[in-house]
Chains A and B, each alone.
Chain A
Amino acid sequence: MSTNQYAAFYRINPATAAKAFQELVDEGLLYKRRGIGMFVSPGARERLRSQRRERFFADVVEPMVAEARAIGIPLREVIQWLEQREGEEER
Protein backbone atom coordinates (compact mmCIF):
# COMPACT_ATOMS: atom_id res chain seq x y z
CA MET A 1 0.00 0.00 0.00
CA SER A 2 1.31 3.45 -0.84
CA THR A 3 1.24 6.55 1.34
CA ASN A 4 -1.09 8.01 -1.29
CA GLN A 5 -3.58 5.23 -0.65
CA TYR A 6 -3.41 6.01 3.06
CA ALA A 7 -3.95 9.71 2.25
CA ALA A 8 -6.96 8.93 0.07
CA PHE A 9 -8.44 6.55 2.65
CA TYR A 10 -8.12 8.97 5.55
CA ARG A 11 -8.78 12.04 3.38
CA ILE A 12 -5.58 13.71 4.49
CA ASN A 13 -2.94 15.65 2.66
CA PRO A 14 -0.45 13.20 1.09
CA ALA A 15 2.48 15.27 2.35
CA THR A 16 1.14 14.88 5.88
CA ALA A 17 0.78 11.13 5.36
CA ALA A 18 4.31 10.91 3.97
CA LYS A 19 5.67 12.83 6.95
CA ALA A 20 3.95 10.45 9.35
CA PHE A 21 5.55 7.48 7.60
CA GLN A 22 8.91 9.23 7.67
CA GLU A 23 8.57 9.65 11.42
CA LEU A 24 7.99 5.91 11.74
CA VAL A 25 11.11 5.33 9.63
CA ASP A 26 13.08 7.72 11.86
CA GLU A 27 11.91 5.81 14.91
CA GLY A 28 13.11 2.61 13.28
CA LEU A 29 9.67 1.00 13.17
CA LEU A 30 9.65 1.02 9.38
CA TYR A 31 12.54 0.76 6.99
CA LYS A 32 12.79 1.80 3.38
CA ARG A 33 14.05 -0.26 0.49
CA ARG A 34 14.90 1.95 -2.40
CA GLY A 35 12.59 1.46 -5.34
CA ILE A 36 10.45 -1.12 -3.58
CA GLY A 37 8.81 0.56 -0.65
CA MET A 38 8.55 0.57 3.11
CA PHE A 39 8.51 -2.44 5.36
CA VAL A 40 7.83 -3.08 9.00
CA SER A 41 11.12 -3.57 10.83
CA PRO A 42 11.69 -6.91 12.52
CA GLY A 43 11.02 -6.42 16.19
CA ALA A 44 8.84 -3.36 15.57
CA ARG A 45 5.93 -5.06 17.26
CA GLU A 46 8.04 -5.89 20.31
CA ARG A 47 9.42 -2.34 20.49
CA LEU A 48 6.00 -0.76 20.27
CA ARG A 49 4.76 -3.09 22.96
CA SER A 50 7.63 -2.26 25.31
CA GLN A 51 7.15 1.46 24.67
CA ARG A 52 3.52 1.17 25.57
CA ARG A 53 4.38 -0.88 28.61
CA GLU A 54 6.73 1.88 29.75
CA ARG A 55 4.03 4.47 29.38
CA PHE A 56 1.24 2.34 30.79
CA PHE A 57 1.44 3.52 34.38
CA ALA A 58 1.91 7.17 33.51
CA ASP A 59 -0.69 7.23 30.73
CA VAL A 60 -3.34 4.87 32.04
CA VAL A 61 -2.96 4.18 35.74
CA GLU A 62 -2.16 7.71 36.93
CA PRO A 63 -5.24 9.27 35.32
CA MET A 64 -7.35 6.43 36.69
CA VAL A 65 -6.08 7.09 40.21
CA ALA A 66 -6.73 10.82 39.78
CA GLU A 67 -10.26 10.13 38.54
CA ALA A 68 -10.94 7.76 41.43
CA ARG A 69 -9.81 10.38 43.92
CA ALA A 70 -11.84 13.10 42.25
CA ILE A 71 -15.08 11.12 42.47
CA GLY A 72 -14.33 9.68 45.87
CA ILE A 73 -13.61 6.03 45.18
CA PRO A 74 -11.06 4.86 47.75
CA LEU A 75 -7.97 3.27 46.18
CA ARG A 76 -8.61 0.25 48.39
CA GLU A 77 -11.81 -0.38 46.45
CA VAL A 78 -9.97 -0.11 43.15
CA ILE A 79 -7.39 -2.59 44.32
CA GLN A 80 -10.08 -5.00 45.46
CA TRP A 81 -11.72 -4.77 42.08
CA LEU A 82 -8.43 -5.47 40.37
CA GLU A 83 -7.76 -8.43 42.64
CA GLN A 84 -11.16 -9.82 41.81
CA ARG A 85 -10.34 -9.53 38.08
CA GLU A 86 -7.05 -11.27 38.72
CA GLY A 87 -8.90 -14.09 40.47
CA GLU A 88 -11.27 -14.47 37.50
CA GLU A 89 -8.37 -14.65 35.09
CA GLU A 90 -6.64 -17.34 37.09
CA ARG A 91 -9.65 -19.57 37.05
Chain B
Amino acid sequence: MIERIDIDHLTLRYGDVTALDELSLSMVGGKIYGLLGRNGSGKTSLLSVLASFRKPTSGDVRINGQPVFENQAITSQIAFIRESGDTVEDTEKVESAMRYAAYLRPNWDAEYAARLLERFEVSTKARIGSLSRGKRSALGIVLGLAARAPLTIFDETYLGMDAPSRYAFYDELLNDFMEHPRTFIISTHLIEEVSRLFENVVIIDRGRLVVQDDVETLLSRGNAVTGPADVVDQFVNGYGFTVIGTRQLGRTKSAMVYGQLDPEKRAEARAAGLDLEPLALQDLFVHLTEPRGDQS
Protein backbone atom coordinates (compact mmCIF):
# COMPACT_ATOMS: atom_id res chain seq x y z
CA MET B 1 0.00 0.00 0.00
CA ILE B 2 1.07 3.53 -0.71
CA GLU B 3 0.06 5.64 2.27
CA ARG B 4 1.80 8.80 1.24
CA ILE B 5 4.40 10.31 -1.04
CA ASP B 6 6.59 13.13 0.23
CA ILE B 7 8.85 15.10 -2.05
CA ASP B 8 11.04 17.54 -0.23
CA HIS B 9 13.25 20.20 -1.85
CA LEU B 10 13.90 17.88 -4.77
CA THR B 11 16.49 19.07 -7.25
CA LEU B 12 17.58 17.25 -10.39
CA ARG B 13 20.21 18.59 -12.74
CA TYR B 14 21.46 17.29 -16.05
CA GLY B 15 24.82 18.99 -16.36
CA ASP B 16 23.98 22.70 -16.44
CA VAL B 17 20.27 22.18 -16.91
CA THR B 18 18.10 22.29 -13.79
CA ALA B 19 15.09 20.07 -14.45
CA LEU B 20 13.69 20.14 -10.91
CA ASP B 21 14.30 23.11 -8.70
CA GLU B 22 13.76 22.55 -4.97
CA LEU B 23 10.37 21.03 -5.67
CA SER B 24 8.28 20.04 -2.65
CA LEU B 25 4.88 18.39 -2.60
CA SER B 26 2.96 15.61 -0.90
CA MET B 27 0.36 13.14 -2.03
CA VAL B 28 -1.78 10.72 -0.09
CA GLY B 29 -2.47 7.25 -1.43
CA GLY B 30 -5.66 5.96 -3.00
CA LYS B 31 -6.38 8.81 -5.39
CA ILE B 32 -6.02 9.54 -9.07
CA TYR B 33 -3.65 12.45 -9.53
CA GLY B 34 -3.17 14.53 -12.63
CA LEU B 35 0.30 15.92 -13.24
CA LEU B 36 0.24 18.83 -15.65
CA GLY B 37 3.04 20.90 -17.05
CA ARG B 38 4.32 22.24 -20.33
CA ASN B 39 6.97 20.39 -22.31
CA GLY B 40 10.25 20.61 -20.44
CA SER B 41 8.56 21.63 -17.19
CA GLY B 42 10.11 18.66 -15.38
CA LYS B 43 7.17 16.21 -15.33
CA THR B 44 9.10 13.22 -16.61
CA SER B 45 12.08 14.14 -14.42
CA LEU B 46 9.87 14.25 -11.35
CA LEU B 47 8.22 10.92 -12.17
CA SER B 48 11.61 9.35 -12.97
CA VAL B 49 12.96 10.24 -9.56
CA LEU B 50 9.73 9.11 -7.92
CA ALA B 51 10.02 5.71 -9.64
CA SER B 52 13.73 5.37 -8.83
CA PHE B 53 14.65 5.59 -12.54
CA ARG B 54 16.96 8.44 -11.55
CA LYS B 55 18.82 9.42 -8.44
CA PRO B 56 18.06 12.98 -7.31
CA THR B 57 20.85 15.55 -7.34
CA SER B 58 19.65 16.72 -3.94
CA GLY B 59 16.52 16.63 -1.83
CA ASP B 60 14.40 13.78 -0.75
CA VAL B 61 11.73 11.48 -2.15
CA ARG B 62 9.98 9.28 0.38
CA ILE B 63 7.12 6.85 0.04
CA ASN B 64 5.50 5.77 3.30
CA GLY B 65 8.38 7.60 4.98
CA GLN B 66 11.05 5.48 3.30
CA PRO B 67 13.58 6.71 0.76
CA VAL B 68 12.74 5.37 -2.70
CA PHE B 69 16.03 4.98 -4.53
CA GLU B 70 17.16 1.33 -4.73
CA ASN B 71 14.63 0.37 -2.07
CA GLN B 72 13.12 -2.95 -3.18
CA ALA B 73 10.22 -2.81 -0.72
CA ILE B 74 9.13 0.46 -2.35
CA THR B 75 10.19 0.14 -6.00
CA SER B 76 8.41 -3.22 -6.33
CA GLN B 77 5.17 -1.30 -5.63
CA ILE B 78 5.70 1.19 -8.45
CA ALA B 79 4.87 0.87 -12.13
CA PHE B 80 6.12 3.81 -14.17
CA ILE B 81 5.05 3.72 -17.81
CA ARG B 82 7.00 6.33 -19.73
CA GLU B 83 5.18 7.04 -22.99
CA SER B 84 4.83 3.51 -24.43
CA GLY B 85 6.59 1.89 -21.50
CA ASP B 86 9.90 0.09 -21.23
CA THR B 87 9.94 -3.57 -22.09
CA VAL B 88 11.93 -6.26 -23.89
CA GLU B 89 13.72 -5.56 -27.17
CA ASP B 90 11.83 -4.71 -30.36
CA THR B 91 12.89 -8.03 -31.92
CA GLU B 92 10.96 -9.93 -29.21
CA LYS B 93 7.29 -10.83 -29.27
CA VAL B 94 4.55 -9.34 -27.12
CA GLU B 95 4.25 -12.67 -25.27
CA SER B 96 7.88 -12.32 -24.19
CA ALA B 97 7.09 -8.89 -22.73
CA MET B 98 4.21 -10.52 -20.83
CA ARG B 99 6.45 -13.32 -19.58
CA TYR B 100 9.06 -10.97 -18.12
CA ALA B 101 6.37 -8.74 -16.61
CA ALA B 102 4.84 -11.80 -14.94
CA TYR B 103 8.24 -12.77 -13.58
CA LEU B 104 9.26 -9.32 -12.34
CA ARG B 105 5.93 -7.87 -11.16
CA PRO B 106 4.74 -9.09 -7.76
CA ASN B 107 1.04 -8.39 -8.40
CA TRP B 108 0.93 -9.21 -12.13
CA ASP B 109 -2.51 -10.34 -13.30
CA ALA B 110 -1.89 -12.40 -16.46
CA GLU B 111 -5.58 -12.94 -17.11
CA TYR B 112 -6.31 -9.23 -16.96
CA ALA B 113 -3.31 -8.57 -19.22
CA ALA B 114 -4.66 -11.03 -21.77
CA ARG B 115 -8.09 -9.37 -21.62
CA LEU B 116 -6.57 -5.93 -22.11
CA LEU B 117 -4.42 -7.07 -25.05
CA GLU B 118 -7.56 -8.40 -26.68
CA ARG B 119 -9.48 -5.21 -26.01
CA PHE B 120 -6.71 -3.09 -27.56
CA GLU B 121 -6.29 -5.63 -30.37
CA VAL B 122 -2.62 -6.33 -29.71
CA SER B 123 -1.58 -9.82 -30.79
CA THR B 124 0.68 -11.72 -28.39
CA LYS B 125 2.49 -13.18 -31.40
CA ALA B 126 3.35 -9.78 -32.87
CA ARG B 127 6.92 -8.55 -32.72
CA ILE B 128 7.13 -5.45 -30.59
CA GLY B 129 9.06 -3.61 -33.29
CA SER B 130 6.27 -4.27 -35.78
CA LEU B 131 3.53 -2.66 -33.66
CA SER B 132 2.16 0.70 -34.74
CA ARG B 133 2.75 3.62 -32.44
CA GLY B 134 -0.77 3.40 -31.03
CA LYS B 135 -0.55 -0.35 -30.41
CA ARG B 136 2.84 0.17 -28.79
CA SER B 137 1.23 2.69 -26.41
CA ALA B 138 -1.57 0.20 -25.76
CA LEU B 139 1.07 -2.37 -24.82
CA GLY B 140 2.45 0.18 -22.34
CA ILE B 141 -1.05 0.57 -20.88
CA VAL B 142 -1.36 -3.21 -20.49
CA LEU B 143 2.05 -3.36 -18.75
CA GLY B 144 0.95 -0.56 -16.43
CA LEU B 145 -2.58 -1.69 -15.55
CA ALA B 146 -1.96 -5.45 -15.27
CA ALA B 147 1.01 -4.81 -12.94
CA ARG B 148 -1.62 -3.75 -10.37
CA ALA B 149 1.15 -1.76 -8.70
CA PRO B 150 0.05 0.21 -5.63
CA LEU B 151 1.52 3.28 -7.35
CA THR B 152 0.93 3.30 -11.09
CA ILE B 153 2.22 6.18 -13.18
CA PHE B 154 1.36 6.87 -16.82
CA ASP B 155 3.48 9.54 -18.46
CA GLU B 156 1.86 10.56 -21.73
CA THR B 157 0.91 6.99 -22.50
CA TYR B 158 -1.36 7.73 -25.44
CA LEU B 159 0.94 8.64 -28.31
CA GLY B 160 -0.47 7.44 -31.60
CA MET B 161 -3.68 6.17 -30.01
CA ASP B 162 -6.94 7.20 -31.63
CA ALA B 163 -9.80 8.65 -29.58
CA PRO B 164 -11.77 5.37 -29.19
CA SER B 165 -8.69 3.55 -27.86
CA ARG B 166 -7.90 6.43 -25.53
CA TYR B 167 -11.43 6.33 -24.11
CA ALA B 168 -11.13 2.56 -23.76
CA PHE B 169 -8.01 3.26 -21.71
CA TYR B 170 -9.79 5.79 -19.49
CA ASP B 171 -12.65 3.32 -18.94
CA GLU B 172 -10.27 0.50 -18.06
CA LEU B 173 -8.30 2.75 -15.75
CA LEU B 174 -11.39 3.95 -13.94
CA ASN B 175 -12.92 0.49 -13.61
CA ASP B 176 -9.70 -1.09 -12.42
CA PHE B 177 -9.15 1.76 -9.98
CA MET B 178 -12.58 1.10 -8.47
CA GLU B 179 -12.06 -2.65 -8.33
CA HIS B 180 -8.49 -2.46 -7.07
CA PRO B 181 -8.11 0.92 -5.36
CA ARG B 182 -4.56 2.23 -5.62
CA THR B 183 -2.69 5.41 -6.43
CA PHE B 184 -2.47 6.65 -9.99
CA ILE B 185 -0.49 9.56 -11.34
CA ILE B 186 -1.34 10.54 -14.89
CA SER B 187 0.70 13.03 -16.81
CA THR B 188 -0.94 14.23 -19.99
CA HIS B 189 -1.37 17.03 -22.47
CA LEU B 190 -4.90 15.89 -23.32
CA ILE B 191 -6.30 17.66 -20.29
CA GLU B 192 -9.90 18.03 -21.41
CA GLU B 193 -10.20 14.30 -22.03
CA VAL B 194 -9.04 13.13 -18.66
CA SER B 195 -9.56 16.01 -16.23
CA ARG B 196 -12.76 14.45 -14.90
CA LEU B 197 -10.84 11.34 -13.90
CA PHE B 198 -8.60 13.30 -11.55
CA GLU B 199 -9.32 13.88 -7.91
CA ASN B 200 -6.28 16.05 -7.34
CA VAL B 201 -4.13 18.02 -9.73
CA VAL B 202 -0.47 19.03 -9.53
CA ILE B 203 0.74 21.70 -11.93
CA ILE B 204 4.47 22.26 -12.27
CA ASP B 205 6.42 24.73 -14.34
CA ARG B 206 10.18 25.20 -14.76
CA GLY B 207 10.85 22.46 -12.23
CA ARG B 208 8.76 24.12 -9.54
CA LEU B 209 5.31 23.56 -8.10
CA VAL B 210 2.76 26.04 -9.43
CA VAL B 211 -0.33 24.73 -7.69
CA GLN B 212 -1.69 21.55 -6.18
CA ASP B 213 -5.32 21.14 -5.19
CA ASP B 214 -8.40 19.01 -5.51
CA VAL B 215 -9.95 19.44 -8.94
CA GLU B 216 -13.17 20.92 -7.56
CA THR B 217 -11.32 23.51 -5.50
CA LEU B 218 -9.13 24.37 -8.43
CA LEU B 219 -12.10 24.73 -10.75
CA SER B 220 -14.09 26.81 -8.25
CA ARG B 221 -11.18 29.22 -7.97
CA GLY B 222 -10.61 29.83 -11.63
CA ASN B 223 -12.99 32.32 -13.21
CA ALA B 224 -13.13 34.59 -16.20
CA VAL B 225 -14.51 38.06 -15.39
CA THR B 226 -15.73 39.76 -18.53
CA GLY B 227 -17.20 43.20 -19.11
CA PRO B 228 -16.25 46.83 -19.77
CA ALA B 229 -12.50 47.18 -19.19
CA ASP B 230 -12.69 49.79 -16.42
CA VAL B 231 -15.35 47.87 -14.50
CA VAL B 232 -13.35 44.64 -14.77
CA ASP B 233 -10.19 46.35 -13.54
CA GLN B 234 -12.01 47.96 -10.65
CA PHE B 235 -13.54 44.67 -9.54
CA VAL B 236 -10.36 42.63 -9.95
CA ASN B 237 -8.01 45.13 -8.33
CA GLY B 238 -10.48 46.04 -5.61
CA TYR B 239 -10.42 42.52 -4.21
CA GLY B 240 -6.79 41.90 -5.00
CA PHE B 241 -7.48 38.80 -7.13
CA THR B 242 -4.57 37.02 -8.72
CA VAL B 243 -4.89 37.75 -12.40
CA ILE B 244 -3.45 34.90 -14.42
CA GLY B 245 -4.33 36.27 -17.81
CA THR B 246 -6.23 38.98 -19.62
CA ARG B 247 -7.68 39.44 -23.08
CA GLN B 248 -9.18 42.56 -24.54
CA LEU B 249 -11.37 43.22 -27.51
CA GLY B 250 -12.18 46.91 -27.97
CA ARG B 251 -13.55 48.08 -24.64
CA THR B 252 -14.47 44.60 -23.50
CA LYS B 253 -11.96 42.97 -21.24
CA SER B 254 -11.77 39.47 -19.90
CA ALA B 255 -9.63 38.83 -16.85
CA MET B 256 -8.80 35.28 -15.80
CA VAL B 257 -8.63 35.36 -12.01
CA TYR B 258 -7.58 32.74 -9.53
CA GLY B 259 -9.04 32.95 -6.04
CA GLN B 260 -12.06 32.25 -3.90
CA LEU B 261 -15.15 33.95 -5.28
CA ASP B 262 -17.79 33.90 -2.55
CA PRO B 263 -21.51 34.49 -3.29
CA GLU B 264 -21.41 38.15 -2.20
CA LYS B 265 -18.63 38.94 -4.63
CA ARG B 266 -20.44 37.02 -7.35
CA ALA B 267 -23.59 39.03 -6.71
CA GLU B 268 -21.60 42.24 -6.74
CA ALA B 269 -19.97 41.35 -10.03
CA ARG B 270 -23.32 40.57 -11.60
CA ALA B 271 -24.79 43.81 -10.29
CA ALA B 272 -21.89 45.69 -11.91
CA GLY B 273 -22.77 44.05 -15.23
CA LEU B 274 -19.86 41.63 -15.29
CA ASP B 275 -20.06 38.12 -16.68
CA LEU B 276 -18.56 35.38 -14.55
CA GLU B 277 -17.58 32.14 -16.15
CA PRO B 278 -15.76 29.22 -14.60
CA LEU B 279 -12.48 28.33 -16.29
CA ALA B 280 -11.98 24.80 -17.58
CA LEU B 281 -8.96 22.96 -16.23
CA GLN B 282 -7.31 23.29 -19.60
CA ASP B 283 -7.65 27.12 -19.54
CA LEU B 284 -6.52 27.29 -15.96
CA PHE B 285 -3.46 25.24 -16.85
CA VAL B 286 -2.67 27.35 -19.89
CA HIS B 287 -2.84 30.60 -17.96
CA LEU B 288 -1.02 29.35 -14.87
CA THR B 289 1.91 28.17 -16.96
CA GLU B 290 1.90 30.80 -19.68
CA PRO B 291 5.36 31.77 -20.90
CA ARG B 292 6.26 35.15 -19.53
CA GLY B 293 8.71 37.47 -21.18
CA ASP B 294 10.51 38.36 -17.99
CA GLN B 295 11.68 34.82 -17.35
CA SER B 296 13.91 32.81 -19.60
Contact = CB atoms under 8 A, between A and B. Distances in A.
Q: Report if A and B touch in the complex (beta carbons < 8 A).
A: yes
A16 B174 contact: no
Contact residue range for chain A?
A: 10 to 19
Interface string B193-210: 000111100000000000
Contacts of B170: 11
Contacts of B196: 10-13, 16
A20 B80 CA distance: 31
Contact of B199 (A4, A10, A15): A15
B280 to A, nearest CB: 15
Interface magnitude class on chain B? 10 to 19
Contacts of A10: 196
Nearest to B32: A13
A14 B178 contact: yes
B241 interface: no
A66 to B, nearest CB: 10
A11 B199 contact: no
A1 to B, nearest CB: 13
A13 B178 contact: no
A3 to B, nearest CB: 9
Interface in A12-27: 12-16, 19
A78 interface: no
A15 B31 contact: yes
**Chain B interface secondary structure, helix, strand, loop or mixed?**
helix
A61 interface: no
A8 interface: yes
B215 interface: yes
Contacts of A15: 31, 199
A16 B197 CA distance: 9
A7 interface: yes
B171 A8 contact: yes
Nearest to A14: B178
B171 A13 contact: no
A60 to B, nearest CB: 16
A10 B178 CA distance: 14
B175 interface: yes
25 contacts: A4-B178, A7-B174, A7-B178, A8-B171, A8-B175, A8-B178, A10-B196, A11-B170, A11-B174, A11-B196, A11-B197, A13-B32, A13-B174, A13-B197, A13-B198, A13-B199, A13-B215, A14-B174, A14-B177, A14-B178, A15-B31, A15-B199, A16-B199, A16-B215, A19-B216
